[in-house]
């Protein structure tokens, strides 16, 4: 175990059927770091996130934290991370402020933190608007806000930049970098390889339920020539 290693995934597998399965996933997550999980449609990213967050029981394998096997369904582990799903269904008649306050109360978080987070994601001025009037990008930023609320060491974000315009992709990168400076680990999934190259410290690439690469982004790029985009790593 290296000094910054925090979570170790060992042989994680999920068998839906003979043809649909995630097999033998091994990698580690450090603290702090920005880790990108990449892969095309159906590669197995959401399944892996569901096993990591305790929403789905693996068919095989284990997860260790600080060298000890953990059960992700255990409430103690659930207090260590926040989660942004790929699509968050908020009650549409609520305002942004009401929805975020609801999540804050569930986790004992103050109203000041709700206001601060709404400002962070640029929704403070529209906090009293009903969510049904929010654009896709605004709803995505509200979903990001609920994941930014709790003071936890790990944030798991599933396709966080979906629907964001270039300004908010830029702001998202700033937010994630600031989160890392505060000592957190950000584990996110994406299809956007430029985002991996610009933001992530390490990346794992999945294809058809298997892990193809897991390495630092710097060495993934260097192994294939400094000017070779990660796209080539992915498509080879």
Ligand X SMILES: Nc1ncnc2c1ncn2[C@@H]1O[C@H](COP(=O)(O)OP(=O)(O)OP(=O)(O)O)[C@@H](O)[C@H]1O
Q: Which residues bind ligand X (CB under 6 A)?
A: 16, 20, 39, 41-47
Least Å from the CB of residue 149 to ligand X = 24
Enter the tokens of residue 189. 């999934």
Residue with tokens 């569901």, as numbered in its chain: 50
Nearer to ligand X, 123 or 203 (CB): 203
For helices 136-148 and 166-181, what crossing angle results, to 10°?
A: 0
Least Å from the CB of residue 43 to ligand X = 4
Kindly write down the DSSP assignment for every residue of 60-75, as one continuous string. Answer: EEEEEETTEEE-TTSH
Nearer to ligand X, 61 or 122 (CB): 61
Q: Are 205 and 39 in contact (CB under 8 A)?
A: yes
**Kind and range of the H or E run holding 113:** helix 111-120
Cα-Cα end-to-end distance for the chain: 30
Nearer to ligand X, 117 or 143 (CB): 143
Q: How far apart are CA 142 and CA 83, in angstroms?
A: 13
Nearer to ligand X, 44 or 160 (CB): 44
Nearer to ligand X, 99 or 147 (CB): 147
Bridge partner residues of 202 (DSSP): 35, 216
Least Å from the CB of residue 230 to ligand X = 17
Residue with tokens 């996110």, as numbered in its chain: 188
Least Å from the CB of residue 236 to ligand X = 19
Nearer to ligand X, 45 or 141 (CB): 45
42: left (phi > 0), else alpha (psi -120 to 50), else beta?
A: left
Length of the chain in terms of residues written: 236
Q: Are 104 and 114 in contact (CB under 8 A)?
A: yes
Least Å from the CB of residue 44 to ligand X = 4
Least Å from the CB of residue 83 to ligand X = 14
């Amino acid at each position: 175990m290296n000094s910054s290693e925090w979570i170790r995934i060992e042989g994680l597998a999920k068998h839906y059927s003979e043809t649909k399965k995630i097999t033998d996933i091994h990698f580690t997550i450090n603290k702090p770091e920005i880790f990108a999980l990449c892969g095309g449609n159906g590669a197995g990213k959401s399944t892996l996130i569901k096993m990591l967050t305790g929403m789905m029981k693996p068919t095989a394998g284990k997860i260790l934290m600080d060298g000890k096997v953990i059960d992700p369904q255990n409430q103690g582990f659930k207090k260590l991370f926040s989660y942004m799903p790929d699509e968050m269904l908020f009650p549409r008649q609520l305002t942004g402020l009401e929805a975020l306050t609801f999540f804050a109360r569930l986790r004992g978080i103050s109203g000041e933190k709700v206001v601060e987070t709404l400002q962070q994601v640029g929704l403070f001025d529209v906090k009293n608007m009903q969510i049904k009037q929010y654009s896709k990008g605004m709803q995505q930023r509200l979903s990001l806000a609920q994941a930014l609320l709790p003071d936890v060491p790990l944030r798991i974000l599933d396709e966080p930049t979906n629907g964001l315009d270039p300004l908010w992709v830029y702001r998202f990168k700033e937010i994630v970098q600031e989160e890392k400076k505060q000592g957190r680990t950000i584990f996110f999934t994406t299809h956007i390889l430029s985002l991996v190259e610009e933001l992530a410290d390490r990346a794992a690439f999945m294809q058809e339920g298997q892990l193809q690469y897991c390495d630092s982004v710097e060495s993934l790029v260097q192994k294939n020539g400094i000017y070779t985009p990660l796209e080539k790593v992915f498509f080879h």
